[in-house]
Chains A and B, each alone.
Chain A
Amino acid sequence: MSKHVQPPSLVTTLAGIAMDNPVMVASGTFGYGPEYADLVDLNRLGAIVVKGICLEAWNGNNIPRMIEVRGGLINAIGLQGPGVDGFVETYMPFLRQFDTPVIVNIWGRDEAEYEEVAARFDDVDGIAGLELNISCPNVKEGGIAFGTDLTMASDLIGRVRKRTSLPLIPKLAPNVPQVGLFARAAEEAGADAISLINTLPAMVIDIETRRPVLANRVGGLSGPAIHPVAVKQVWEAAQAVSIPVIGMGGIETAADAIEFMIAGASAVAVGTANFTDPTTVVRVIDGMADYLVRHDMATVGELVGSICE
């Protein structure tokens, strides 16, 4: 018998953002909201993180942009997007209809663009926070160049921090030797939370034609194949900082998400699994509540960082 007669609470406050539960959707895997609205009740999501936005509309890479591999997929979309104004005009009226916090994932080709994009969202109604993408492997400038160099990452986060009053969540690259150093640098530069992991740089070659399959030649690996890598990076990052950590990478089930929370994540995001099964987020939320009941926990917070070592 459970001690707690009340259903367990999944309520999570992260970087000042109040969420009904700690399960969000990962940037680039859920569009801007309307795409999945017929299939998923958007009010049930902990938060919606929209696809990466830079200053002006951006074309992204040529096709093929995506290829399935064992245990995941490699994408090289190249951050196609409508730009700040296009996003705000086209999608914010829709997103404001829901109670779910909206986190905008932003990027730039240089520091100045990152700063400008961040500043532009300060006056936009209905935005709960900014996720700063310094870890995209699919653009030549910006992206991962910042996320794999400690000085550049720290400098960029500090500069963006000065230009926004919104909660700022740098998204870290997984392919660094000591992710804890990047996590701490982000905290010291003024981040309110950090999220990780972004996709891992990866490639597929067609052996008949001997050509790379993706037009961009290389892309980013996501899906269940990267989950254990992500758990390790989240575990390391969480120990290095006192700000909250958002864990993601290969979540398909509640168990995968719970693992991140035990490793130290205060919240999680579902990415590639939205494509496989759009009901994943809702299944994860329900499964997490069941787990708390089974383990006699009253709040999801008890799970965070509860790893036994």
Chain B
Amino acid sequence: MQIEKATVKTHEVVGGDYRELVLNAPRTAGSAVPGQFVHLRVPRLDGSVLRRPFSIYRARDGVISILYKTVGRGTEAMVAIGGGDTLDLIGPLGNGFPAELAGETPLLVAGGYGVAPLSFLASVMDVRGTIFIGGASARDILCVGDFESMGWTVRITTDDGSVGEQGLVTLALDRWLAEHPEAKPVLYACGPDGMLHAVGQRAVAAEHTAWLSMDKHMGCGVGACLACVQRIRGEDGSESWKRVCRDGPVFDAATVVWE
């Protein structure tokens, strides 16, 4: 991890409320692994004391990019980031996904901007699998082309049925699991808490490994403030808080204690 002053390469709308911000950040790009994030200081955000965390979407040739959705004061202020800006970021942070597979089939499950780290993950895997992308409507379904061009199978679900199948992402996942009773999948999920919980429960019940990337509001981003904690069950069965920013954001679903 380091503090890096990153210059803006491009900043474009990718659909709906989502934008891709591409930054020259050679030191972060040089060591980032899928599932890690950067903690970004939003420029010109008056009276703000906290950075905002974003998953690394791509990291290659000295360049990183993030894919973000405008949801509040910070992300709305990010819309004004332009070509001349130098951004202050800390990265890469967090543990990242264990990407090594021993013959298992990777199943990725994404909600909203959760596709960002999973696209990066797919790009480093030497096997192809299936990605399940869910969202409220067509506008929330991103990066389909990324996965298709890498040879992955894409299954889309939307709440309103405006694209793909109507329903929750777990509907498509459940069907896949039922149709492949002999398969040995490893699941990787990133998205809203409810989705992570549902994916985690299924994986634990079926004794499949599942890696969940948790989204918790952060302060420091480096493990110092204890704002971002998640209840985790240890090997001895005891429960304790782990820091999503430092011990995570990726946790084994079997260890996550849900509220």
CB within 8 Å of B: which residues of A? 28-31, 35-36, 38-39, 51, 59-60, 63-68, 70-73, 75, 77, 80, 223-225, 272-279
Residues of B within 8 A of A28 (CB): 225
Tally of A-B Cβ pairs under 8 angstroms: 92
Extra contacts, 7 of them, besides A75-B225, A274-B224 (Cβ < 8 A), are: A31-B225, A38-B2, A73-B219, A80-B241, A276-B41, A276-B51, A278-B222
- Are B241 and A275 in touch, CB under 8 angstroms? no
Question: Which residues of B206-233 have CB atoms within 8 Å of chain A's CB atoms?
Answer: 216-217, 219-229
Asked if B220 and A75 make an inter-chain contact with CB atoms under 8 angstroms apart, the answer reads no
Q: How far is the CB of A94 from chain B (nearest CB, A)?
A: 13
Digit string of B1-36 for contact with A (CB within 8 Å is 1, else 0)?
A: 111000000000000000000000000000000000
Q: Which secondary structure dominates chain B's binding surface?
A: loop
Are A60 and B241 closer than 8 Å at their CB atoms?
A: yes
Q: Which residue of chain B has the shortest Cβ distance to A25 in the bound complex?
A: B224
Interface centre among B41, B47, B216, B228 (most CB of A within 10 A): B47
From A51, A72, A275, A276, residue with most partner B Cβ within 10 Å:
A275
Residues on A with beta carbons closer than 8 Å to the beta carbon of B223: 31, 35
Q: A223 touching B224 by the CB < 8 A rule?
A: no
* Alpha-carbon distance A35/B90, docked complex (angstroms): 13
Establish whether residues A29 and B224, one from each chain, have CB atoms under 8 Å apart when the complex forms: yes
> Once the chains bind, are B41 and A65 in contact (CB under 8 Å)?
no
A71 touches B47 (CB 8 A): yes
CB-CB nearest in chain B for A73: B49
| Chain A, residue nearest B244 (CB) | A63
Chain B residue numbers with a CB within 8 Å of A59 are 240-241
A273 to B51, CA, bound (A): 11
Is A39 a contact partner of B226 (Cβ separation < 8 A)? no
The distance in angstroms between the C-alpha atoms of A304 and B59, with both chains bound, is 49
Name the B residues within 8 Å of A77 (CB-CB). Answer: 225-227
A-B contact pairs, 27 of them (CB 8 A): A30-B224, A31-B223, A35-B220, A35-B222, A35-B246, A38-B1, A38-B2, A51-B224, A63-B216, A63-B227, A64-B217, A66-B227, A67-B217, A68-B49, A70-B47, A71-B47, A71-B49, A75-B227, A77-B226, A80-B229, A223-B49, A224-B49, A225-B47, A273-B49, A274-B220, A275-B49, A277-B88
**B221, B225, B241: which has the most chain A beta carbons within 10 Å?**
B225
- Is B48 close to A, CB under 8 A? yes
Q: Is the CB of B2 within 8 A of A275?
A: no
- The docked-state distance in angstroms from the alpha carbon of A72 to that of B219 is 11
Bound state CA distance, A26 and B225, in angstroms?
11
For B216, give the chain A residue with the smallest CB separation: A63
Cα distance A121–B48 in the bound complex, in angstroms:
37
Q: Max chain A CB contacts within 10 Å: which of B51, B219, B241?
A: B219
Residues of B within 8 Å of A51, CB to CB, are 224, 226
Chain A residue nearest to B220 (CB atoms) is A275
CB-based contact A272/B241 at 8 Å: no
**Residues B225 and A72 in contact, CB atoms below 8 Å apart:** no
CB–CB A278/B227 < 8 A: no
Cβ of A207 to closest chain B Cβ, rounded Å = 14
Residue of A nearest to B1 (CB): A38
In the complex, chain A residues whose CB is within 8 Å of the CB of B216: 63
Q: Residues of B contacting A272 with CB < 8 Å?
A: 49
- Do B224 and A80 touch (CB < 8 A)? no
